[in-house]
Structure formats: structure tokens, C-alpha cells
């Protein structure tokens, strides 16, 4: 799962990326077209607690890939369309996180001359709409000349998209059937990608995070299903991260966030993408895996290894809490809480699975 981090220059994308991927902070040349990729670990106390029970020698967390895409400033006062390299970088991702700036910093000026996170969000959303409209119109031009049934259906679907985009609407706010969604997937439309809005606050306004987020949310008309909102104070948090772990708490408290940005952003990313976590627990390796909500046991097995899915016989399944309560695998087996499930079992968040398979 890959999430593109976008937004205007100096909104704090790279600062946030460093926090997420646990790298040294340090922004890079804003004229550079270089993007950075990194892996963020989903901290999961369930995995840590169960791994401790079985004395796991190796612990592997679930992860999300983040891509730090540098912002670029228009050369004139007029907004410029996004360049092709930028758009193609974004199209390759599964979801987008737009970082908008709500912090003053006299050393780093905002390319638009003032701090206005709502404007920055609308600008970015608008550029995505324009770029999608361009793709739709080009394709419509082609398919409208064809007369077979499939092309006609495609033209009808694209016409629905065109109408909405022309009214400055994002595609994620339209309802599509599963069949339509499948057809649209190949276009990698930006305004259809799940969206995480990240409001980057300064340390002075971080304690008002909830109010500031709410004010923005109230002014944006969008379907809640495909959008999530998170407030962070990336600059301050990256400084806090340089402290020893035991020294961090009072500073975090001052910011007013109950959890670090990393945990809150990954959680929002998982929710937005409809992902849940299941675990495989053993002394050699204990590991958390992610799978889409509603996935069957055999699909979850495929995440682990294709062979395990192919040779799937049954899966031993229990909830992570059952092992925690029992204190050991042997005790847990005595409680009768371990079930045997077939291929079609629907995975639940926090399931511990052990597949019996045959290759």
C-alpha cells in the first residue's frame, strides 16, 4: 500500500515524511524532482504483547509505504497546471495525503504569500480535477467514435465523470457500482483516490487542533467515506523525536496530541484504505499483516505466501486477546477458544491465524 504525500512547497511534507519513516529530518532542494520513498511501521501493542508471550526472536510490524513528492511553486502569480512528471508520480499511488500549512515561519515564506490551509487544499483538489478532466476528455474523444457495446458503456461512464469534473467536483464524491469502479481503476484518477488531509500546525496553534480541523471540515463539501483528516505539528514533533523517548511526554502534552503523528497518520491511512490487521504468532517470527476489510482466510493466506493459499486446508484462528488472557499457547488451547476456519471465513481485525496447508 503506497501513499503519496503532496502539497504546496514548504508545507512540511519532508518533515512529516522523516517522522513517518523514522529518518533524519532535513529537507531537500525544492527545485529537485527527486521523490523519496520510505516505509512506516504500524506500531501495534497486540503484536508486541503476543510476541513477548511466545518469546518471539523476530517481530515484524505491518507497514505502509510513503512517497515524499516535492511541491513546486508556480513561476508567476497565476496558478500553473501540474507538470506531467508530478502527475504520473501521483497516479502510481493508492492514496494521497495532502499536507497543508497552518504554521507561521518567518524564515520559510509560503509560495502564495499567506497562510491559508483551506485555499491550499482547494487548489490541490482543483488541480487533481483538472488533470482528471484532461484524461477523461481525451479518452472520450476516442471511445465516442467507436460503436461497439463496450465502448458505448465506457463513454456513458466517462460522460458521468466529465459532467461532475466540469462542475469542479472530485470523482471520489460520486457513487459508482463495483463494475464501474473496476472500469475506472485503469485511469488512476487523482480525484478518485482516497484522501488524507493533514493540517500541519505550528506549536503555538497545535492545542487548537480540533477547532481548526472542524472549521476546515465544515467548509469542505465531500463524502466522508473517502476522506480523513489529521492535524499534526510536524516541525515540533520532529524536534521532540530527537529527544530520548522518556523525555518526550511533557512536550507532546504541551502540543495536546494523545498519540504521536506517526501513529495517528498510519491509523487514518489504514481506515481510509479499509485495511485491517491480522497476526501470525510464533517463537521464530511474530508478525502483523494487513489485508482489506472483508477479505477471506484464503486471501489473507495469500498475503503471507502464494503457496500457503494454494495448499490451504484449514486455519487455526483466535482473537489476539484470547492468547493474552490465557498467558500461553498451551493454556489457550485448553480454553477451546481456538477455532478451525475454512477458506471463506471473513477475517477480523486482531485475528491470529495459523494456516494448515499442504503443498
Ligand X SMILES: Nc1nc2c(ncn2[C@@H]2O[C@H](COP(=O)(O)OP(=O)(O)OP(=O)(O)O)[C@@H](O)[C@H]2O)c(=O)[nH]1
Residues forming the site for ligand X (CB under 6 A): 7, 9-15, 27, 30, 70-71, 103, 105, 108, 200, 202, 233-235
Find the DSSP H helices in 92-186. 117-143, 149-166, 178-185
Q: What is the number of residues in the chain? A: 359
**Cα gap 196→258, rounded to integer Å:** 19
Give every strand in the sheet of 286-292, ordered side by side.
59-60, 286-292, 275-280, 351-357, 312-319, 339-341
- Please identify, using beta-carbon distances, which residue of 66 and 289 lies nearer to Mg ion: 66
Stretch that binds Mg ion, among 13-21, 145-153, 318-326, 342-350 (CB under 5 A): 13-21
- Closest distance between ligand X and the C-beta of residue 20, in Å? 12
- Please identify, using beta-carbon distances, which residue of 10 and 191 lies nearer to ligand X: 10
- Closest distance between ligand X and the C-beta of residue 348, in Å? 37
Collapsing DSSP to helix, strand or coil, 173 comes out as helix
- Closest distance between Mg ion and the C-beta of residue 36, in Å? 8
- Please identify, using beta-carbon distances, which residue of 111 and 169 lies nearer to ligand X: 111
10 binds, among Mg ion, ligand X, none (CB under 5 to 8 A by kind): ligand X
Which H or E element spans position 330? helix 329-334
- Please identify, using beta-carbon distances, which residue of 14 and 280 lies nearer to Mg ion: 14
Helix, strand, coil tally for the chain in percent (to 5): 45, 20, 35
- Closest distance between ligand X and the C-beta of residue 94, in Å? 21
> Per residue in 64-102, is it b (16+ CB within 10 Å) or e — as a string?
bebbbbbbbeeeeeeeeebeeebbebbbebbbbbbbbbb
Q: Is 10 among the residues that bind Mg ion (CB under 5 A)?
A: no
Stretch 32-91 residues interacting with Mg ion (CB under 5 A):
70
- Please identify, using beta-carbon distances, which residue of 4 and 70 lies nearer to Mg ion: 70
Q: Is 14 among the residues that bind Mg ion (CB under 5 A)?
A: yes
260 binds, among ligand X, Mg ion, none (CB under 5 to 8 A by kind): none
Positions in the binding site for Mg ion (CB under 5 A): 13-14, 70
Amino acid at each position: 500500500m503506497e501513499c503519496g504525500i503532496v502539497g504546496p512547497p514548504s508545507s512540511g511534507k519532508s518533515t512529516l515524511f522523516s517522522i513517518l519513516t523514522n529518518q533524519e529530518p532535513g529537507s531537500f532542494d525544492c527545485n529537485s524532482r527527486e521523490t523519496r520513498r520510505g516505509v512506516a511501521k504500524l506500531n501495534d501493542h497486540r503484536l508486541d504483547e503476543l510476541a513477548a508471550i511466545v518469546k518471539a526472536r523476530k517481530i515484524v510490524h505491518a507497514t505502509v509505504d510513503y512517497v515524499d513528492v516535492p511541491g513546486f511553486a508556480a513561476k508567476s502569480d497565476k496558478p500553473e497546471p501540474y507538470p506531467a512528471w508530478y502527475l504520473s508520480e501521483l497516479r502510481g499511488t493508492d492514496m494521497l495525503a495532502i499536507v497543508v500549512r497552518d504554521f507561521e515561519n518567518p524564515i520559510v515564506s509560503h509560495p502564495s504569500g499567506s497562510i491559508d490551509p483551506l485555499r491550499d487544499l482547494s487548489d490541490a483538489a482543483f488541480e487533481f480535477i483538472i488533470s482528471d478532466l484532461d484524461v477523461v476528455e481525451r479518452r472520450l474523444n476516442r471511445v465516442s467514435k467507436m460503436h461497439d457495446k463496450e465502448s458505448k458503456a465506457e463513454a456513458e461512464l466517462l460522460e458521468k465523470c466529465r459532467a461532475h469534473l466540469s462542475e469542479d467536483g472530485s470523482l471520489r464524491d460520486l457513487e459508482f457500482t463495483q463494475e464501474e469502479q473496476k472500469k475506472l481503476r485503469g485511469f488512476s484518477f487523482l480525484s478518485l483516490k482516497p484522501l488524507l488531509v493533514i493540517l500541519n500546525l505550528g506549536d503555538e496553534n497545535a492545542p487548537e487542533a480540533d477547532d481548526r480541523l472542524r472549521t476546515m471540515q465544515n467548509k469542505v463539501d465531500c463524502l466522508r467515506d473517502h476522506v480523513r483528516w489529521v492535524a499534526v505539528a510536524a516541525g515540533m514533533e520532529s524536534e521532540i523525536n530527537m529527544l530520548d523517548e522518556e523525555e518526550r511526554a511533557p512536550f507532546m502534552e504541551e502540543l495536546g496530541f494523545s498519540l504521536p503523528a506517526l501513529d495517528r497518520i498510519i491509523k487514518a491511512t489504514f481506515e481510509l484504505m479499509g485495511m485491517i490487521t491480522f497476526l501470525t504468532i510464533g517463537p521464530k517470527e511474530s508478525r502483523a499483516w494487513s489485508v482489506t476489510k472483508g477479505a477471506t482466510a484464503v486471501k489473507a493466506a495469500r498475503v503471507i505466501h502464494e503457496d500457503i493459499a494454494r495448499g490451504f486446508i484449514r486455519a487455526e484462528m483466535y482473537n489476539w486477546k484470547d492468547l493474552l488472557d490465557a498467558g500461553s499457547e498451551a493454556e489457550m488451547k485448553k480454553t477451546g477458544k481456538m477455532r478451525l476456519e475454512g477458506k471463506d471465513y471473513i477475517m477480523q481485525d486482531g485475528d491470529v491465524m495459523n494456516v494448515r496447508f499442504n503443498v
